[in-house]
Structure formats: structure tokens, C-alpha cells
């Protein structure tokens, strides 16, 4: 996956985002929806080559921006706030 940086912080070379697929409850219809990794990357508008996809394991300390399902649907706006 990549080497640890200084102080044991995980930062794979060339990667900027940690994509964590999961369930979200929609504010529109109140239902739960599964948002997969590919869909999350599209919703956030990020390059898949810059992503590491979580497969359910714990990652520990990392320097990647976390991309998770959002009930409010503000994917691109939230990414701009992280910049």
C-alpha cells in the first residue's frame, strides 16, 4: 500500500484521498442507501488514481482526505472546505 511517513503516519505515494464506502440515510426520502467507492469518487469529483479505497479494515493515522457518504449531498462543497 505504501510507506509510513514521519512519526508512523500513513501516506501512500501519489495518493490524496481515503474513500470509505458505506450506508447513508437520505434526507430526501429517509431511506438508507449504499454508496460504493466508485460512486463516491464521482460524487466528490476526484481522480480515482489519487484514491485509496478502504476495504473495511482500520487504517490508523493517515494524512489523506477522508471521502465518506454524506446525507446532505454536499460532496464537492465539502471537499472544497477541506482544501
What does the angle CA 71 – CA 76 – CA 10 come to, to the nearest 5 degrees? 90
CA–chain centroid gap for 17, Å, is 6
What are the sequence ranges of the domains in the chain? Answer: 6-82
In the numeric block, which cell numbers belong to residue 14?
Answer: 501519489
Q: Are 64 and 15 in contact (CB under 8 A)?
A: yes
Instruction: Tell me the pLDDT tens digit for each residue of 13-66.
Output: 889 999 999 999 988 788 999 999 999 999 999 999 999 998 876 566 778 898
- Give the distance from CA 76 to its chain's centroid: 12
- Band the pLDDT of 7: cuts 50, 70, 90: low
| Stated pTM of the model | 0.78
Amino acid at each position: 500500500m505504501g510507506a509510513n511517513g514521519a512519526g508512523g503516519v500513513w501516506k501512500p505515494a501519489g495518493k490524496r484521498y481515503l474513500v470509505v464506502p458505506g450506508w447513508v440515510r437520505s434526507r430526501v426520502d429517509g431511506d438508507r442507501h449504499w454508496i460504493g467507492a466508485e460512486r463516491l469518487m464521482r460524487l466528490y469529483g476526484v481522480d480515482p488514481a489519487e484514491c485509496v479505497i478502504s476495504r473495511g479494515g482500520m487504517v490508523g493515522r493517515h494524512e489523506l482526505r477522508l471521502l465518506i457518504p454524506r446525507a446532505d449531498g454536499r460532496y464537492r462543497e465539502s471537499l472544497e472546505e477541506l482544501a
